[in-house]
Structure 1
Amino acid sequence: MPWSRMLLGSLLVFSFLVASVSSNEDYYKLLKVSREATTREIRQAFKRLALIMHPDKNPHDETAHDKFLKVTRAYDVLKDDDLRKKYDKYGEKGLQDEQQGGGRYESWNYYRNEFGIYDDDLEIVTLDRGDFDAAVNSGELWFVNFYFPRCHHCHELAPTWREFAKEMDGVIRIGAVNCGDNNRLCRSKGINSYPSLYIYKAGMNPEKYFGDRAKESLTKFGMQFVKSRVTELWQGNVFTEIEAAFSSGVGWLITFCADSGDCLESKTRQKLAGMLEGLVNVGWMDCSTQAELCDSFEVTTSTTAFFPPGSSLKNKGSVLFMQSLDTREIYGEVMQHLPDLEALTKETFQSKLAHHRWLVSFSFGQKTIASHEYKKLKALLKAAHIQVGKVDCLTDSELCVSFYIQKPCIAVFKGLGIHDFEIHHGKDVLYNIIAFAKESVSAHVTTLRPENFPSDGKEPWLVDFFAPWCPPCRALLPELRKASIQLFGQMKFGTLDCTVHERLCSMYNIHAYPTTVIFNKSSIHEYEGHHSADGILEFIQLPGLGRPHGGDHGPRQLCRAGEEEETQRDLDGGLLCPVVWALSGPAARVEEDGTGGEWYDKGGDGGLSETPLLLPRRECQSLP
């Protein structure tokens, strides 16, 4: 068949496929969310639509049932990480083998009163399967409520849990897990009754709460796990305590309790000690028994003051006196006056990071509330021997450009030089950043760029082509880290951001994310299994990985007849030969390509279809 006829056939079939895909409604547009939306945002969007579009609210609309079924189907897919990954990669076609839900949905009252109980509460973190372990292993103290939407006692607890969360905001992280949406997670944690309330902290076994559900009882139980010390200061210890802290770069928050004025309550002092643990020491002084000592601090009435390292009463401007008794307001004032992260520049970057682990915050001049929270990272990552610094990309643009950093981000450098690092693509919240940093320094995943892309074929590499906006991509990254630990010394792991390196991704015909490819010398294999560390390990250990896996679903190398030897040299030398997606059919030969040459399938089994689709053909070209 002449090549022109083949191409016409390809275009006709391709046009049909495009028309078919475009006729399906986009699930993200149906829910009115972006492709970057979190599970919580998707749930909130669905609830808003459910309250408006539900057939119970539109009894005279004959199309209401069908319209709402579409929205329900979109929600059922996008709330599930695995289904969402298939949908993002293949569209509705990728969901054909999945159960369609049978056209069922809940009543309007269910969506109004029982669905997403805590989604609108800022002080409560709704956790799901994707971020639960990262949260409870971050080093922060968590109190988690496992609930079920139809559980009457869960709904009775909800108002109290909200008030409790406001009371403990900043002291203990308050979480909630919807076991209706996260049944697998709840089963794995041994949850068999609702509500179940558990305290979590890294290094200790989860502790279940069995008391009554009054706010005071919950607070008393939670505060048992806030172990931070509040020191009573007196003549015999005050100067040694302060000097010892100052010498290690830690300041003091001291409340002076005199006969007049307002002194911070014991509970408030304990809360502040927990909130500022590792950053500031908290103490108090009884001026009724330490009158001379309080006089030496020039204190005549009850007050609270923050003494940064090196501060002195001789320099009044160095001491910050608090005007509030509110825990959160005092905490905010202290955090604002703590020193910023260590600034790294082009001149100091290489020497500082050459042999030490670092978490680096790359910013573009802006200061946010999050930047104050980042000050906690130094204390929370101290045990992992990770230092913390920042780079201002407006001041040191050349440094940021060299790492292809185009927007604010967090990166972890693993102590093996400035080129072995990994960029964080998860949530910009403290517990997620901490978990990422600890995982990253232990794993062997590298952020790839054109300069270090594995194009020479000397070592086997697993490369994950991804886009940061893609939720399944982000869900895969922790699994890659786990697999990289298991396969250390056997295979290298890297990730390539296709939103930054479009040309490089285009060279490998990457059209969907995530696309995970194994480069094994001159062979290239796409992994299409389950997005888990176990799935990746199982695939890599398959016998015969030396040839493309998956039959007709992988890219085949096509080379010109008579040029096999030369093309093999090109492949071994790091050149990329044109590829075509192999479809079904017995033909082992592709007709003229329009340039006078003939092409044939080097892959052997499977063969090409008579009208190969999704060419496009390119000349062999050197990789960057």
Structure 2
Amino acid sequence: PLRWKEMNIPRVQDYYDLLGVSRDATTREIRRGFKKLALTMHPDKNPVNPSAHDRFLQVNRAYEVLKDEDLRKKYDKYGEKGLDEQQGGRYESWSYYRYDFGIYDDDLEIITLDSGDFEAAVNSGEIWFINFYFPRCSHCHQLAPTWREFAKEMDGVIRIGAVNCGDNNHLCRRRGINSYPSLFVFRAGQKPEKFNDERSKDELVRFSMKLITTSIAQLWQGNVFSEIESAFSSGLGWLITFCSDTGGKTFSVRACVCACLLTQDGLVKVGWMDCTTDEQLCHSFQVTGGATALFPPGSSLDKHGSVLWLNTLDSKEIYTQVINHLPDLELLTTDSFERKLAHHRWLVSFTFGDRHSASNEYKKLQALLRNDHIQVGRVNCITDSDLCQPLYIHKPCVAVFKGLGIHDFEIHHGKDVLYNIVGFAKDSVRAHVTTLRPDNFPSDRKEPWLVDFFAPWCPPCRALLPELRKASIQLAGQMKFGTLDCTIHHSLCSVYNIQAYPTTVIFNGSSVHEYEGQHSADGILEFIQDLVNPTVVILDPPSFTDRVKANGQIWAVDFYAPWCGPCQALMPEWRRMARLLSGQVLVGSVDCQRFQAFCQGQGVRSYPEIRLYHSQQSYNGWNRDAHSLRSWALSSLPRASVDLTPETFKSQVLSGRDHWVLDFYAPWCGPCQHFAPEFEILARILKGEVRSGKVDCQTHHQTCQSAGITAYPTVRFYPYQGTRRKLLNPQNKTFVSDKEMSVSQNLKLLQFNFITYSVRSWSPYNIYIYIHIYICIFYLINCYCPKCQTVCRSRFLNERICWFCFRKIKNFGS
């Protein structure tokens, strides 16, 4: 066993070295490396060592950072300085790491999926049966031995996977997983199907076999030759089992599994022939007893060696021999490469002489990609080096050519497994991402380009690539997307001072912008939207003096330094906050590396420094997400709502002549505090049309009780209908979701004294829109619209809404 003296872990050490993994380690390898250390170094196993706790904290910290895609990127780019905002300090017990951690990491037949490869797997076209589990769930541990046996039984027939919902909480929540274990089957293009039967191996196998659409044909004198000829003309061979009087029962079991393995991938047709009833027919195939043979397209008994006779009854051995005997992918040469790829989409495997272990699996690609109209071929870079060198292909890889010639292609950098390659191919042909080289790099910048500088060994880089494809589809025709491999094109990356991976840069004419944000398509789209319509004002000393200090408006200002890791982490949230505050608070930023003397003059001593002007109030909150920052900024604005007492509630709301929207709250209520700035937004946008008020139900309990308030916060709209509104036993309509609201339904609301909106699902803007619709309908029914009066009633009665008001609402919503 490892001893502390032998470990000799220094106080500061590279996280990868600490866990004993390489920088391109997968999440699974990181888990296994950490578990090995956890079982030997845990303080529970070293109770007499006073430094055990601190040493294991460092190991645990390394694991927590490297398992998280975003934290791992920050660490790779900035080191530990970029992680100052991420606090560690706790770990699990030794028994947790021994018995609960990484349940299926050592099972080769079970593929542990995480957020980075889940979508590619379930959309690959293969059938996936996935176990969503939680490490501390006792039922999950009870199922584990059965799940392992089931995985071995179905290996090669369908894919068996597992998702740790402790490590992939967002993925599980997005998929609606709310109990453990949850077993789901995923088939591309179909709704996931949950397994609800007994969790035994036999039931799991029986359920799985029902999912597989396979056809085992019985061949006889009347159909055998037409069936074989038809399959040969389609490029498919036949696997035929000749059953003697003793082989029928054996065949029924092994043929089913073999058919599943071969026909679901569209590789061959599978059939059987009863030699007890069609003895003469079997003799014509030179069979006198039980046998199994593969007849490839164009084969004949007269051609020596063209028929493969199989001497095994094991279904997996049959499968392996059939796969080995199938024709290889079409070989593309210098003479045919450019011609064939000019107008058709191709997935091409580039090899360097020796066939690698995945070559036989690649034979399935043609069938799996047939419906996507993607042809599959291979290039031998040893014999056709003149083909590979101009494309900068120096090692085995897979690339998708998009039907626009040989220069528009994308190289696959994910796992070299079939489901990943299939998912990549389907995504790549729809996307607009190109693998860049020196000869096609956008140096002239005539068009806007997003270029991702990356290294294939970098896991965050690989995780970003599918997000780039999604973003390129959204921005098709507006911006071009490319990727540059810095392990191959060192000098070109050096020209642009690329020091960390991935570095994503947007080139737009003379402007160059580096993307710092979440590795997601939405994050990229938001960043580009900000470049087109900036929400954050870039301030320098003169503009700060003229705009922030002089004009009397409220400003939120971020003082930052480009080299500061936490500053970079804040940037996307700062831009998102600016969009949320649009029209209410002005948002700016100052680069303190560029204007160091100015920042020092403003008393800025650390970064990032966030302030509100004119109060010069600094943000001291721990959470620097967009919503927390927004709530802080809104708290500085003058209130647009008024506080109501029992007397003003009766005189102004119930007896007054104004429309009112009220927030019933309690000071001790957390959701009420969270909703308070939202209500102020609603009050501000309704100002002048609907009055807004707040009722403190702790101070004025009797008023809230009389109004029927049973939960906090509660938002109610009290429309004025020309009559006195009642407090006791009022007629009320409650809307839980904005999906319930429509123009026609609003007509029925006129009978109610007030309308309640559930703040859990209603945003201030939704409430605003439907309050406006209500008021417009009221004016219409009563022939009173200050803009169009009775004209809209006679002309737009069928629409059930005043057209002037409707247009106003529609414009607001857009």
The TM-score by the shorter chain falls in which range? 0.7 to 0.9
Aligned equivalent of 2:221: 235
Matching residue of 1:15: none
The answer as to whether partners of 1:250 and 1:309 remain within 8 angstroms in 2 is yes
CA distance in 2, matches of 1:456, 1:130: 34
Residue pairs, 1:232-271, within 5 angstroms: 232-260=218-246, 264-271=250-257
> Corresponding residue for 2:108?
122
Per-residue displacement from partner, 1:55-106 (whole Å, max 9, x unpaired)? 1222222222111111111111111111111111111111111232xx2211
Give the superposition deviation at 1:450: 0.5
- 1:179 matched to which residue of 2? 165
> SS of 1:428's equivalent?
coil
In structure 2, C-alpha distance between the alignment counterparts of 1:511 and 1:266, rounded to whole Å:
61
Q: How much does 1:332 deviate?
A: 0.5
What does residue range 540-619 of structure 1 map to in structure 2 within 5 Å? 540-542=528-530, 583-586=593-596
Which residue of structure 2 aligns with residue 457 of structure 1?
Answer: 445
Give the superposition deviation at 1:305: 1.0
Partner of 1:192: 178
Query: 2:410 aligns to what?
Result: 422
User: Residue 213 of structure 1 aligns with which residue?
Assistant: 199
Query: Following the alignment from structure 1 to structure 2, what is the Cα–Cα distance between the partners of residues 549 and 456?
Result: 28
Match of 1:591 in 2: none
Which residue identity does 1:233 align to in structure 2?
A: L
Unaligned runs of 5+ in 1: 1-21, 556-580, 589-624
Shift, 1:545, TM fit = 6.7
Using the TM superposition, give the Cα deviation of residue 212 of structure 1 relative to its aligned residue in structure 2, in angstroms: 0.8
Give the CA deviation at 1:546: 8.9
Matched with 1:92 is 80
With over 3 angstroms needed to count, the CA separation of the structure-2 counterparts of 1:413 and 1:582, relative to structure 1, is: farther
Cα pair 1:230 1:282 within 8 Å, conserved: yes
* Counterpart residue number, 2:59: 71
Task: State the 1:107 CA deviation.
Answer: 1.6
Task: Say if 1:260 and 1:301, in contact at 8 Å, map to a contact too.
Answer: no
How far does the alpha carbon of each residue in 1:350-382 deviate from its partner, in whole angstroms, 9 at most, with x for none?
001000000011111121221100000000000
Per-residue Cα deviation, 1:283-320 (whole angstroms, up to 9, x for no partner): 11111222221121121211111111111122342111
Q: Equivalent residue of 1:224, what SS?
A: helix
Could you list the runs of 5+ residues in structure 2 that have no partner in the other structure?
Answer: 1-9, 540-559, 564-590, 599-814
Three-state SS of the structure 2 residue aligned to 1:542 is helix
The 8 Å contact of residues 241 and 251 in structure 2, kept in 1 or not, is answered as: no
Are positions 1:144 and 2:130 aligned together? Answer: yes
Letter in 2 for 1:28: Y
The answer as to whether partners of 1:526 and 1:548 remain within 8 angstroms in 2 is no
Task: Output the CA distance in 1 between the equivalents of 2:381 and 2:474.
Answer: 36
- Residue 330, structure 1, aligned to residue 340, structure 2: no
Q: What residue number does 2:491 align with?
A: 503
- The alpha carbon displacement at 1:177 in A equals 0.6
1:257 & 1:391 partners in 2: Cα distance?
42
Do structure 1's residue 313 and structure 2's residue 323 form an aligned pair?
A: no
Residue aligning to 2:421: 433
Aligned to 1:377: 365
Paired with 1:343 and 1:41, the residues of 2 have a C-alpha distance of 36
TM norm structure 2: 0.65
**Secondary structure of residue in 1 paired with 2:349:** strand
CA contact (8 A) 2:43 2:53 kept: yes
- Output one character per residue of 1:554-602: Cα deviation in whole Å (capped at 9) or x when no partner: 69xxxxxxxxxxxxxxxxxxxxxxxxx98253569xxxxxxxxxxxxxx
C-alpha distance in 1, partners of 2:134/2:226?
53
Aligned to 2:350, the other structure's residue is in SS state strand
Residue 604 of structure 1: aligned partner: none
Higher relative contact order structure (alpha carbons within 8 Å, sequence separation ≥ 6): 1
Range that drifts further, 422-431 or 273-282: 273-282
Does the 8 Å contact 1:364/1:394 carry over to 2?
yes
Instruction: Show CA shifts across 1:376-422 (max 9, x none).
Output: 00000001111001111111112111111111111000000100000
Could you tell me the TM-score, scaled by structure 1's length?
Answer: 0.84
Count of paired positions: 540
Q: Equivalent pairs: percent with the same residue?
A: 69
Query: Are 1:442 and 2:430 matched, yes or no?
Result: yes
CA contact (8 A) 1:154 1:194 kept: yes
- 1:411 equivalent to 2:399? Answer yes
Q: Distance in 2 between matches of 1:268 and 1:207?
A: 27
| Alignment match, 1:393 | 381
The residue aligned with 2:515 is 527
Deviation at 1:435, TM superposition (A): 0.5
- Does residue 1:113 correspond to 2:99, yes or no? yes
Q: Give 2:389's aligned amino acid.
A: V
Aligned counterparts of 2:278 and 2:403: Cα–Cα separation in 1: 49
For the residues of structure 2 that align with 1:524 and 1:459, how far apart are their CA atoms? 13
Q: What is the CA–CA distance in structure 1 between the aligned matches of 2:187 and 2:256, rounded to whole Å?
A: 18
CA distance in 2 between partners of 1:23 and 1:546 (Å)? 44
2:412–2:421: 8 Å Cα contact kept in structure 1?
Answer: yes
Report the equivalent of 1:611: none
Report if aligned partners of 1:523, 1:548 keep a CA contact under 8 Å in 2: no
SS of the residue corresponding to residue 38 of structure 2 reads helix
SS at match of 2:184: strand
Letter in 1 for 2:335: E
Q: Secondary structure at the match of 1:517?
A: strand
Paired AA for residue 399 in structure 1: L
What's the CA shift for 1:148?
A: 0.9
1:46 equivalent in structure 2: 34
- Which one-letter code corresponds to 1:583 in the other structure? Q
**Alignment counterpart, residue 158 of structure 1, candidates 144, 152, 167:** 144
Structure 2 Cα separation of the partners of residues 398 and 548 of structure 1: 50
Seen in structure 2, the aligned counterparts of structure 1 residues 159 and 544 have a Cα distance that, compared at 3 Å, is closer
| Aligned counterpart, 1:225 | 211
Could you say if the C-alpha distance between residues 149 and 23 of structure 1 is closer, same or farther in structure 2, counting changes exceeding 3 Å?
A: closer
